[in-house]
Structure formats: C-alpha cells, structure tokens
Amino acid sequence: MKLGVNIDHTATLREARYRGLPDGEPDPIKAALACEAAGCYGITAHLREDRRHILDEDMDRLAAALKIPLNFEMANTPEMVSKALKLLPTSVCLVPEKRQEITTEGGLDVQSQQASIARTVQELQAAGIEVSLFVDPAPEVVRASIDTGARAIELHTGAFAEGFGEAVSRRREIQRLVEAAELGHQGKLKVNAGHGLNYLNVKGMHEVPWLEELNIGHSIVAHALFVGFDVAVKEMLRLIHPVG
C-alpha cells in the first residue's frame, strides 16, 4: 500500500490565527514538502467551497512545488471542476461536502447523482486526471461507481475507525471493506481507502485486499506537532509496510 498524506489541517491551524491575512503559519506547502522528503507517495488537499482551510493559492503552489502526485479532493461542482482543469493534478477525489460538518461525513450518494458524477468523471479523465469517488463500503454504491466510468474508488473507513475499539463492530466493518474492495477490483477499479485512520487502527487495512493507497491526514498532522513530519510520516510508513 502507498501512503498519501492529507495536509489540510496544517492550513486549519494557519487559518485559526491568520484567516483573511496575506501571510500566515504554518505553511501547508512546507508541510507537504516535508512529507515528500520523508517518503510518502502523494499529497492530498481538499479545497472546500467555504475555503475553511486550504485556499486556492495553496493548491496552485502545491501543484507547482510537488514532485510526487497531488490528489485534489473536491466537491462535484462547476467551480471545482474548472479549478481542477486549470490545475491538472494527478488525481481528483470527488467527495460530498456540507457547510456545517467538521470533516467529511459519509461517502458520495453515487446512485442519486450518477449522471452528474459520470459527466464530471468523463470531463476530468479526458483531461488526463484520474478520478476517484469517495464512497461508503456498500455493494450498491460500488456498483454505481463502476457505472460512472471512474477509474478508482476510495473506501470510507470512518465507521471502521469509530468501531475499532469494539471487536464485533471492528470485524463487521472489516468485512464490509473486504467485500467492497473485492467488488471494486472485479469492476476494474483501483481501490484506495481513508478517513479516521491512525497509528493504532491502520493495521486493520492489511486485512482488506487490493488496496493500493491509504490517504491519512489528521493523525499524521497531530503526531507531527510533537515529533515533526519526517518522523510522523516514516512511522506511518513502517506500519503500512511492516518488516518481517
């Protein structure tokens, strides 16, 4: 499995003090470059409609500075599609977005939005951008995702993370992820996963087949406050790629 690091919450810290000002710290681009130097596969950043953390100029600077893949998380809106087509990141992950939520809650409702999502998928992939759909690990959602023409899905691991401390819940959620990953692979989709993964529960992802990439943000950023990004990223990489 490859590690993608979501650096959104470095920008959350910056905006808590410097929102609306021309400069501020910490700089999410410096964080991304530190993660790149530590050996992660890619960087993920979510440009939200309300610009609560990552800003347009952050995305522009990330695209210019990174030598590793940039994964642009975004809502399926004309504004964000236009931004993606100008930015031309390696990949786009389409996510649901609510103004009132603290972080992304739940996966895309692909079934009810299938036509709109399919149009966006076609437009972005025609420009050479791989499109992933952030989805709950449910068979009907994975099947609908296959029908959109997207090349990848990112399985929402939030329920797994929330229930990790209870054996029955943990086993149930692992089984849901396993079944969704198998179905996605059968449908020729690249299968990624993310949301709520941390240094304790990430080991559960070794039980899920076909996973190519894990996208992890908050836990790494939080740990980096104490040990720095180099150590935080390398510790996560050792958990994803255990030796022996």
Q: Do the Cβ atoms of 52 and 104 come closer than 8 Å?
A: no
User: Quick check: 121 and 131 in contact, CB under 8 A?
Assistant: yes
Annotated catalytic residue 73: yes
DSSP letter for 26, please: S
Number of domains in the chain: 1
For 231, phi then psi, to 5°, come to -70, -45
User: pLDDT by residue (tens digit) across 97-113?
Assistant: 765 554 556 789 999 99
Within 72-217, residue ranges assigned H as helices are 78-87, 114-126, 139-148, 158-162, 167-186
Look at residue 243 and tell me whether its pLDDT is greater than 70: no
Which residue is catalytic, options 9, 46, 156, 223?
Answer: 46
**What is the mean pLDDT of the segment spanning 202-230?**
98
Cβ–Cβ under 8 Å, residues 222 and 182 = no
- pLDDT at position 22 over 90: no
Whether 156 sits among the annotated catalytic residues: the reply is no
* Banded pLDDT at 198 (limits 50, 70, 90): very high
Cβ 10 vs Cβ 221: under 8 Å: yes
How high is the pLDDT of residue 103? 53
Asked about 195 being catalytic, the answer comes back as yes
Would you state the pLDDT for residue 231?
98
pLDDT band at 181 (very low <50, low <70, confident <90, very high): very high
Q: 153 forms bridges with which residues in the sheet?
A: 133, 191
Residues in contact with 22: Cβ distance below 8 Å, sequence separation at least 6, in sequence order: none
Q: Could you count the other beta carbons within 10 Å of the beta carbon of residue 206? A: 12
* Choice among 73, 97, 130, 173 that is catalytic: 73
**pLDDT, average across residues 187-198:** 98
Return the percentage of the chain with pLDDT > 70, whole number.
96
- CATH for 66: 3.20.20.70
Predicted pLDDT of residue 106: 75
Q: Which position has the token pair 């964080």?
A: 31
Q: Is the pLDDT assigned to residue 146 strictly greater than 80?
A: yes
Give CA torsion, residues 215, 174, 191, 54, to 10 deg: -20
Domain that holds residue 38: 2-240
Exposed / middle / buried, residue 140 (Cβ in 10 Å: 0-12, 13-18, 19+):
exposed
Active-site option among 9, 53, 156, 195: 195
Burial (0-12, 13-18, 19+ Cβ within 10 Å), 50: exposed
Mean pLDDT of 200-209: 97
